[in-house]
Structure 1
Amino acid sequence: MTGPVPELEDRAAACADRLCEADRVLLASHIDADGLTSAAIAAQALERADLPFETVFEKQLDETAIAAIAETDYETVLFTDFGSGQLDVIGDYEDADAFTPVIADHHQPADRETEYHLNPLLFGIDGASELSGAGASYVLARALAEASDGTTTGVAADGGTAVESTESHPRADNRDLAALAVVGAVGDMQASGGELHGANANIVEEGVDAGVLETGTDLAIYGKQTRPLPKLLEYATDVHIPGISNDQAGALRFLEDLDLELKRDGEWRRWSGLTGEEKQVVASALVKRAVSRGVPAHKIDGLVGTSYTLAREPVGTELRDASEFSTLLNATARYERADVGLAVCLGNRDGALERARSLLRNHRRNLSAGIDLVTSEGVTNEEHLQWFHAEDRIRETIVGIVAGMALGNDGINRSKPIFAFATKTDDGAESGDEDPAEVKVSARGTHSLVRQGLDLSVVMSEASRVVGGDGGGHDVAAGATVPAGEESTFIERADEIVGEQLS
């Protein structure tokens, strides 16, 4: 087999062979969109390989979570979208024969080695921009298809967090899983400059060949499948167009001035329902408006990008567009319903999808409230970064998203990374019950800052260690947990590191 990422082929084959030796596997995965798609890809690959498995999710793979995994009676544990950064702890359990780890991840590895470790960073591939966790799982899935033989018997996931195999499936090369890998990469913000690059592009090509993906040049605006046209333009703020963006009446006037049938049966049409010619009319008018209102040329270029369409999903649904699909998944995971997100990934189009949509509506309300809070209260500016402390007013699971979306709003500078603190609570606990022992901190930058040298993964890792915390992630987005009361010391050290990186 020639895999989608030749540099990883030998390591992927070794990992797949080790999984095939197992009587059963514990699949442990992260809970964001990349983690959910990673788990879904791995689950289907294990099922098709006739490997019994159970799936568990962790918001954070810390020492407590790893200890709990070690207490199970699974001899083989597959970690997806995390594990590399926790290799020092995992390695201790491996040395004690608690379990054999197989890791498919893309985060910065800890200073420890293990045999079955599939990570693009080990082979000179950027895990922040060229291959996501879902991409690493996809590479493993392709190798697992080659390592297993014949037809399979297994139990499909029922939408819960525990999944075991029962149902027959024909042998497959697993290229159909490329669509989920692309959703994971897009959800992990790897579509810089409007498209996926590097190893991700190889996976896109396999998905197109397999008939599960379609690509094309289109407006780079969120909501093309599901939002009515006025809302699509009103909420399109990545490229701010005066008189349209964040302007309900202005967006309506803009559309009504176009010589197009924009309503049918009294309802506004959606972008996905327009013809190619109609789309061209709207896009051309948008560009003309942007030019006339003085929007810089490089920003206008950002109005157009590569679209990633899931060809087998219904037109006009969140599942048809990679960006909307990833947002739907984030809305499940960040409200402790990773089981719902997994079920949607695995094809549950009934109860799980409706539950996911309900969670998404709630997620959007919370994001809007969070952005309003940050914009109204403002941020504290240090020399090289800006920050705010939401305490318990924004959920720790979404505070990073809020921070990223707030960048560029009034009073919030896109030329500095933004750091956001939120009270860290146990799942199900009521915030404010007691003084928190720990605080979650999330950081977001821009790809422009990364090109200047910013690496938030390093910032989070080093600054959190100074105060006895732990952190990591990617260059453009990272997170950490720090002891409550140590925020000022953390920010002081983070500001120094950012300054050194950008000098």
Structure 2
Amino acid sequence: MVVADPPVPELADRARACADRLRDADSVLLVSHIDADGLTSAAVASTALARAGIDHEVVFEKQLDAESIAGIAAREYDTVLFTDFGSGQLDVIADYEAAGEFTPVIADHHQPADADTTFHLNPLLEGINGANELSGAGASYVLARALEGSGGDGSAGSDGDNRDLAGLAVIGAVGDMQDSGDGLVGANEAIVADGVAVEVLETRTDLDLYGRQTRPLPKLLEYASDVRIPGISNDEAGAISFLSELELELKSGGEWRRWVDLDADERRTLVSALIQRAVASGVPAARIEALVGTSYTLVAEEPGTELRDVSEFSTLLNATARYERADVGLAVCLGDRDEALTEARSLLRNHRRNLSEGLQWVKTEGVTHEDNLQWFDAGSRIRETIVGIVAGMAVGSPAVDRSKPVIAFAEESATELKVSSRGSHRLVRQGLDLSVVMGEASRSVGGDGGGHDVAAGATIPADARDAFLAAADELIGEQLP
């Protein structure tokens, strides 16, 4: 069997070193984050370890800090594989390595701390942007490819070929907001190519709206907040009126059809009418162009389900681990389409309800504006594990000013606040880097944080909110013109 070339050649040496260490381990503790990127990272890594015959256990952590790392060390594993986090906490992890408590292997894409380890796979170490070119799941995929064996017949999923895991890596990248509308770029493109080559992924130019597989057409248009079209976006009656004017059969059995139910000619007719309405409504040309983008379809999944489109799959995963059911999300990633999927769908209904209520709270209460940012403090009204998602939804709604990043607070404990920040790719192009903002502002008040340029988070003392805001506002002011 001929093993395919490594997907990201710049990381090949690091990936091989990490893979060799894992093969030498008696057993491995695999530790990952709880968002969609973390779950898919764990699923990719766990599948690759299993195929390589490496005994391992999978656990998840809401956040990686000194306390959780101490708990990981207490499990007394010789080797610990961190996926989708670890780089930012390497200064703490390195102390345990130096003491001989465990050997860390890290597959991550976050900004590394000022320390290092022998087995560290991170795109940033090789000049690859970890915010939009390779996700945590992508780093795990690069590692999985390095773990490929020598047996099998070369088909996807056989011994020696892990390219069938590319679909999970793409779910992670899209779930981590690495799809800017122009499709995945950089190292992510190579992973997409692997997925297409082994026929687990299909790409096409398509209407770039969330919910193509599952939402009835009026809801698909009403909730299309990224491209606001007056009289349609955030307007149920307006969306229905627009659709009713089209000379298309848009209902079946009395029920609205979905985008996935339309044939190619029907889709072209709808898109053309939507663009015409946007032009007539004065929507800027750049925003109109964003109506069309690259879609990623998981071809083995049933059409019309949450699993068929990578964006909807990532939302399903967020509905599990963020509610302490990472086991359910992992099982779905690993192929359980029975009990785990049923439970995940139940959790998804609850998740959607919570997101809707959270966004409505932000719309009703409004946001507070500083010179360079806007913010809201949800207290205990929005779960701290989803307040960042609500903040991201608010960025695409009329509730906030798109010219400023949004910072959201939620109660994490009696003594700590969870901070989540969201910007836009346009602001990032202008110089915004929320990873720097969250890191520096949080540390200035005795907390800690980090993440990516377009989305980042922190944990700070409960009484430090105002001081944190002042520091963050100043930092953003220095970044943006």
After TM superposition, the structure 1 = structure 2 runs for residues 38-117 of structure 1, keeping only pairs within 5 Å, are 38-117=41-120
* Structure 2 contact 181–294 (Cα < 8 Å) conserved: no
The CA deviation at 1:408 is 4.9
After TM superposition, the structure 1 = structure 2 runs for residues 15-34 of structure 1, keeping only pairs within 5 Å, are 15-34=18-37
| 2:185 alignment partner in structure 1 | 197
* Structure 1 contact 38–135 (Cα < 8 Å) conserved: yes
| 1:430 alignment partner in structure 2 | none
| 2:12 alignment partner in structure 1 | 9
Which amino acid in structure 1 is aligned with residue 333 of structure 2? C
SS state of the match for residue 34, structure 1?
Answer: helix
State the alpha-carbon separation in 1 of the partners of residues 174 and 128 from structure 2: 17
| 1:418 alignment partner in structure 2 | 406
Do structure 1's residue 442 and structure 2's residue 445 form an aligned pair? no
State the alpha-carbon separation in 1 of the partners of residues 175 and 76 from structure 2: 33
State the alpha-carbon separation in 1 of the partners of residues 143 and 124 from structure 2: 15
After TM superposition, the structure 1 = structure 2 runs for residues 371-390 of structure 1, keeping only pairs within 5 Å, are 371-390=359-378
1:77-102 Cα deviation digits (max 9, x unpaired): 10000000000000000001100000
State the alpha-carbon separation in 1 of the partners of residues 294 and 311 from structure 2: 11
SS state of the match for residue 372, structure 2?
Answer: coil
State the alpha-carbon separation in 2 of the partners of residues 293 and 131 from structure 1: 37
Which amino acid in structure 1 is aligned with residue 455 of structure 2? A
SS state of the match for residue 92, structure 1?
Answer: helix
SS state of the match for residue 319, structure 1?
Answer: coil
* Structure 2 contact 23–54 (Cα < 8 Å) conserved: yes
The correspondence for 1:499, drawn from 473, 477, 480, is: 477
**Count, aligned residues:** 475
State the alpha-carbon separation in 1 of the partners of residues 58 and 219 from structure 2: 38
Which amino acid in structure 1 is aligned with residue 432 of structure 2? L
Do structure 1's residue 330 and structure 2's residue 318 form an aligned pair? yes
SS state of the match for residue 480, structure 1?
Answer: strand
Which amino acid in structure 2 is aligned with residue 470 of structure 1? D
* Structure 1 contact 49–149 (Cα < 8 Å) conserved: no
| 1:465 alignment partner in structure 2 | 443
State the alpha-carbon separation in 2 of the partners of residues 26 and 6 from structure 1: 27
SS state of the match for residue 165, structure 2?
Answer: helix
The correspondence for 1:295, drawn from 279, 283, 291, is: 283
The CA deviation at 1:309 is 0.3
* Structure 1 contact 464–490 (Cα < 8 Å) conserved: yes
SS state of the match for residue 485, structure 1?
Answer: helix
Which amino acid in structure 2 is aligned with residue 62 of structure 1? D
1:269-318 Cα deviation digits (max 9, x unpaired): 11112111111111111111111111111110010000000011111111
SS state of the match for residue 191, structure 2?
Answer: helix
The CA deviation at 1:409 is 3.5
Closer, same or farther in 2 for the Cα pair 1:330/1:411, shift >3 Å?
Answer: closer
| 1:486 alignment partner in structure 2 | 464
Do structure 1's residue 346 and structure 2's residue 334 form an aligned pair? yes
* Structure 2 contact 396–402 (Cα < 8 Å) conserved: yes
Which amino acid in structure 2 is aligned with residue 124 of structure 1? G
Which amino acid in structure 2 is aligned with residue 73 of structure 1? E
1:210-233 Cα deviation digits (max 9, x unpaired): 100000000000100011112111
SS state of the match for residue 456, structure 2?
Answer: strand
State the alpha-carbon separation in 2 of the partners of residues 35 and 407 from structure 1: 23
Q: Percent identity?
A: 70
State the alpha-carbon separation in 1 of the partners of residues 40 and 397 from structure 2: 31
1:44-74 Cα deviation digits (max 9, x unpaired): 0000000111000000011111001101121
* Structure 1 contact 3–142 (Cα < 8 Å) conserved: yes
| 2:247 alignment partner in structure 1 | 259
The CA deviation at 1:43 is 0.6
* Structure 1 contact 331–356 (Cα < 8 Å) conserved: yes
* Structure 2 contact 111–124 (Cα < 8 Å) conserved: yes
Do structure 1's residue 309 and structure 2's residue 297 form an aligned pair? yes
State the alpha-carbon separation in 2 of the partners of residues 66 and 107 from structure 1: 17
The CA deviation at 1:193 is 3.0
SS state of the match for residue 318, structure 1?
Answer: coil
RMSD: 1.3
State the alpha-carbon separation in 1 of the partners of residues 399 and 77 from structure 2: 51
Which stretches of structure 1, 4 residues or longer, exceed 4 Å deviation after superposition? none
The CA deviation at 1:258 is 1.4
With 443-452 and 243-252 compared, the bigger mean Cα shift is at: 243-252
Closer, same or farther in 2 for the Cα pair 1:218/1:387, shift >3 Å?
Answer: same
SS state of the match for residue 421, structure 1?
Answer: strand
| 1:397 alignment partner in structure 2 | 385
| 1:166 alignment partner in structure 2 | none
With 107-116 and 364-373 compared, the bigger mean Cα shift is at: 364-373
State the alpha-carbon separation in 1 of the partners of residues 237 and 284 from structure 2: 24
SS state of the match for residue 295, structure 2?
Answer: strand
With 2-11 and 257-266 compared, the bigger mean Cα shift is at: 257-266
State the alpha-carbon separation in 2 of the partners of residues 43 and 308 from structure 1: 23
Which amino acid in structure 1 is aligned with residue 49 of structure 2? L
